């Protein structure tokens, strides 16, 4: 079984609600946070399977088409690959926030589905997110958790950015 690192997208890998972008509805609006691609590269080189798990309720709400979302994710994977990182798959929940689906975080559906398809060792995997619902989803899946940000949280680790969390993540997965 393989160990995985599940990364939330918005606020962990790329900017949202910043000076230049509100939400990412097209590839041109995808700006990686400083050091994010390098962090994914470090985690890739350490031998972990990297996945992105992201709530994209904007699809269900009609703000962007699934086709466009896939283009955004292709760009994300390319930008990370340019720094030597590898994102195995970008899983997303396209449903409306109140649809009650199993995939939208804080539910663990996306993580459980990936675990089944890729034979992942969830107890020795990590969920990284910048929102309490990411941490909840990680816990429901039985993973360790890393919170990006300064809010109080019950995550195993807290760090200001993914870049600054890399050392702790590697320590946590030893």
Question: Cα 160 vs. chain centroid, distance in angstroms?
Answer: 15
Query: Between 21 and 121, whose beta carbon lies closer to Mg ion?
Result: 21
- Residue 143 assigned as binding residue: no
- Residue 75 interacting partner from Zn ion, Mg ion, none (CB closer than 5 to 8 Å by kind): none
Neighbours of 2 (CB within 10 A): 14
Question: According to CB under 5 A, which residues from 109 to 138 bind Mg ion?
Answer: 130
Angle at which helices 66-82 and 36-45 pack, to 10 degrees? 70
The binding track of 4-43 with respect to Mg ion, each residue x by CB under 5 A or -, is: ----x-xx--------------------------------
Residues with a known catalytic role? 8, 10
Coil vs helix vs strand at 127: strand
Distance, CA of 10 to CA of 53 (rounded, Å):
10
Q: How far is the CB of 130 from Mg ion (least distance, A)?
A: 4
Residues 6+ apart with CB under 8 A from 152: none
- Residue 11 interacting partner from Mg ion, Zn ion, none (CB closer than 5 to 8 Å by kind): Mg ion
Question: How do 144-148 and 126-129 pair as beta strands?
Answer: parallel
Q: How far is the CB of 104 from Zn ion (least distance, A)?
A: 4
Distance, CA of 82 to CA of 120 (rounded, Å):
26
- Residue 95 assigned as binding residue: yes
Query: Between 44 and 54, whose beta carbon lies closer to Zn ion?
Result: 54
Of 35, 55, 39, 56, nearest in space to 5 by CA: 39
- Residue 131 assigned as binding residue: no
What residues line the site for Zn ion (CB under 5 A)?
93, 95, 101, 103-104
Annotated binding site for Mg(2+): 8, 10, 130
Give the annotated binding-site residues: 8, 10, 93, 95, 101, 103, 130
List residues binding Mg ion (CB under 5 A). 8, 10-11, 130
């Amino acid at each position: 079984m393989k160990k995985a690192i599940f990364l939330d997208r918005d606020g962990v890998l790329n900017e949202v609600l910043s000076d230049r972008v509100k939400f990412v509805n097209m590839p041109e609006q995808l700006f990686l946070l400083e050091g994010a691609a390098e962090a994914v590269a470090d985690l890739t080189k350490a031998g972990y399977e990297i996945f992105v798990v992201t709530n994209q309720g904007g699809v269900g709400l009609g703000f962007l088409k699934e086709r466009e979302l896939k283009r955004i994710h292709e760009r994300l994977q390319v930008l990370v690959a340019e720094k030597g990182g590898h994102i195995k798959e970008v899983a997303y929940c396209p449903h409306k926030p109140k649809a009650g689906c199993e995939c939208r975080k804080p539910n663990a559906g996306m993580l459980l589905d990936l675990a089944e398809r890729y034979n992942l060792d969830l107890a020795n995997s990590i969920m990284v997110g910048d929102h309490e619902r990411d941490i909840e989803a990680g816990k429901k899946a039985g993973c360790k958790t890393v919170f990006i940000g300064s809010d109080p949280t019950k995550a195993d680790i807290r760090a200001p950015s993914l870049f600054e969390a890399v050392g702790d993540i590697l320590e946590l997965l030893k």
